[in-house]
């Protein structure tokens, strides 16, 4: 089973302004983004036990200031958030059809696209980390040269003892082509210790017939630990050469499925950092995911974050 040199986590990616529906024609302004959602939930779960840092780039405007202020108040380390004097944060709006969500994005000029331009800053952010988390969205928004800068920093961090977790979170519209996805993802899998894919995404890109096929492909790529999410279906988890399938409990009072996978990632990774087994971590991930979808938007209220043993 994977070990971690310490409990400190670093997440890398884009945070956006979120407009979440809360009533007919009414929206609440918040902040969200896949790796940010995971980092924020981890910070609440690990309060007093470890630091949770977020690496991104935002603007110098009032909205960006509010984002950084909110993160700091919520217990995240904001030391590695850089500022762009020209570009600001992207924005997205959630559209609900019942409880299922779709999104409208305004992110082409997001400052986060420059988050990996400075190799020295990445090295500083990763120094001393026990776990570094990123996603396919993190990679998709970066210029090709900056992806290589990020990969080099991850390789050095792993050599220094950090573990890397990766959620492929495939979003085809962010990539130039499916061929680009298939060229880039294997590069990050070679640097990945824990993979947290969603089966529907993997089937769309790689043609995986089922979660077990996803596990087989990622294990062949050298990933030591894999937990495959499948909506309300069971989670298939692979560790130490063993595969287990764990049923996902039914959740009552679902209002918005936004952020379910990111919540799962937070529970899973927090539990693993605390020394729990992958099977126990799946249960924590399912608990976090279930809580997220009982609230509007991608993050649950602070007071709703489940405690971890």
CB neighbour burial string for 220-239, b if at least 16 within 10 angstroms, e if fewer: eeebbbbbbbbeeebbbbbb
The answer to whether 86 and 108 are in contact (CB under 8 A) is no
Residue 75 in tokens: 């217990």
Element (H, E) at 100: strand 100-106
For residues 189 and 191, what is the distance between their CA atoms, to the nearest angstrom?
A: 5
Cβ count near 265 (within 10 Å): 32
262 labelled catalytic: yes
* Catalytic residue selected from 34, 167, 201, 262: 262
User: Reading across the β-sheet that carries 16-23, which strands appear in turn?
Assistant: 26-32, 16-23, 91-97, 100-106
Residue 279 in tokens: 């099977």
DSSP string, 53-89: EEEEEE-SSHHHHHHHHHHHHTT-B-TTEEE-SS---
**Which residue do the tokens 């961090």 mark?**
157
**Active site amino acids:** 262
């Amino acid at each position: 089973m994977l070990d971690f040199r310490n409990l400190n986590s670093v997440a890398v990616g884009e945070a956006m302004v979120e407009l979440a529906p809360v009533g007919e024609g009414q929206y609440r302004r918040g902040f969200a983004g896949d790796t940010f959602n995971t980092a924020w939930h981890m910070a609440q779960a690990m309060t007093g036990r470890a630091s949770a840092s977020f690496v991104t780039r935002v603007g110098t405007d009032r909205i960006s200031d509010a984002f950084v202020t909110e993160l700091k108040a919520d217990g995240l380390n904001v030391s590695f958030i850089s500022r762009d004097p020209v570009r600001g944060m992207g924005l997205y709006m959630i559209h609900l059809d019942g409880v299922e969500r779709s999104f409208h994005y305004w992110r082409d000029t997001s400052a986060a696209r420059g988050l990996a331009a400075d190799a020295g800053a990445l090295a500083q952010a990763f120094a001393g980390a026990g776990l570094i988390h990123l996603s396919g969205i993190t990679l998709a928004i970066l210029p090709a040269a900056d992806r290589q800068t990020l990969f080099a920093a991850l390789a050095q961090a792993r050599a220094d003892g950090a573990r890397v977790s990766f959620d492929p979170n495939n979003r085809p519209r962010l990539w130039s082509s499916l061929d680009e996805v298939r060229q880039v993802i294997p590069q990050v899998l070679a640097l990945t210790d824990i993979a947290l894919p969603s089966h529907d995404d993997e089937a769309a890109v790689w043609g995986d017939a089922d979660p077990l096929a996803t596990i087989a492909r990622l294990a062949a790529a050298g990933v030591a630990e894999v937990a495959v999410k499948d909506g309300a279906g069971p989670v298939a988890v692979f560790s130490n050469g063993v595969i287990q399938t764990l049923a996902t409990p039914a959740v009552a009072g679902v209002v918005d499925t936004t952020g379910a996978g990111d919540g799962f990632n937070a529970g899973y990774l927090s539990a693993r950092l605390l020394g729990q087994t992958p099977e126990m971590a799946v249960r924590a991930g399912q608990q976090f995911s279930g809580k997220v979808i009982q609230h509007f938007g991608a993050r649950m209220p602070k007071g709703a974050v489940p405690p971890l043993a």
